[in-house]
Amino acid sequence: MTKTTAPVDDVLTKLQAELAETETRRNRAEQEVAACLARINVLTGRLTAIHAATAAIANLSPTAPDQEWLDHLNAWRNTLCEELRALPATIRDAHTLGLKTNLVLSIRAIDLGPDVANGTGYDLTTLRLGALMIESGYEVLGADRDRHYAGKLPWHGSLPKVERRLADWRKQRAEAEARLAEAVLDEAGRERRVAERKSQIDALNATPVRKTRGDGSQYDRYPDGRRVEVTN
């Protein structure tokens, strides 16, 4: 009995040691797998963000047409305002009154759209604005003398509407560029960005809010609850 016990004990000891070593390797492998999966998620997220941001930038409509139209609107408006100011302060004849009405409607059309002329007897082609548009190279479309149809001038939006479109475009591009800049940062850059944000938050949290009491005295209240009296 004694002769067989020793070998069994040796085997048990060896098996237990091997089992412990295998468990250690398994735990290490599981940790490595978890780390790899986490890294895959990070890399996949960055790839997705880069593709989405570059696609957003590429899909933005070109701004040149809107910018050209905006420049024309501003130039035409300046001309119309100058012509309106050149009219006499007191108008005593129907012709000059008609000129003034035409100029005012033209300016309002730039600010609000050509529908402001509805019901006035004017349209874009008969307004002074229409003449300025034709001078700038815009063509009357669909004119038909047989049907006594004067045609229509192209219209690409009022001044505020075009300004909003350009502002929206700039905002969308800036947001997409910010997402792209974030996605292409390397690890060192990301760590710096995190540190910078933390520093900004810490600085913001350390900034006190000045309070005024009913008696006019003031104190600075800090985010941590401290109050410091303000002395003049």
- 72: which 2 tokens? 């024309």
- The verdict on 97 and 77 lying in the same domain is yes
- The verdict on 68 and 141 lying in the same domain is yes
- The verdict on 137 and 55 lying in the same domain is no
- The verdict on 35 and 118 lying in the same domain is no
Integer CA distances (angstroms), 182 to 5, 39, 51, 168, 186, in order = 67, 17, 13, 21, 9
- The verdict on 42 and 75 lying in the same domain is no
- The verdict on 96 and 32 lying in the same domain is no
- The verdict on 19 and 47 lying in the same domain is yes
- The verdict on 70 and 104 lying in the same domain is yes
Cα 124 to chain centroid, rounded: 34
Which of 159, 182, 205 is the last residue before a domain boundary?
Answer: 159
Per-residue pLDDT of the chain (232 residues; tens, 9 = 90+): 455 577 888 889 999 999 999 999 999 999 999 999 999 998 999 999 999 999 999 999 899 999 999 999 999 999 999 999 999 989 889 999 999 999 999 999 999 999 999 999 999 999 999 999 999 999 988 765 655 556 789 999 999 999 999 999 999 999 999 999 888 888 888 778 878 888 888 777 778 888 888 888 888 888 877 888 888 6
- 155: which 2 tokens? 């219209």
The reply to whether 168 falls in a domain is no
- The verdict on 28 and 81 lying in the same domain is no
pTM (2 decimals)? 0.67
Going by C-alpha positions, the residue among 61, 177, 158, 65 that lies closest to residue 117 is 158
The reply to whether 205 falls in a domain is no
- The verdict on 55 and 77 lying in the same domain is no
If one counts the domains in the chain, the total is 2
- 80: which 2 tokens? 């119309």
- The verdict on 69 and 95 lying in the same domain is yes
Which of 108, 130, 159 is the last residue before a domain boundary?
Answer: 159
The reply to whether 130 falls in a domain is yes
In which domain, by residue range, is 39 found? 13-59
**Beta carbons within 8 Å of 140's beta carbon, 6+ residues apart:** 125, 134, 150, 151, 152, 153
The reply to whether 200 falls in a domain is no
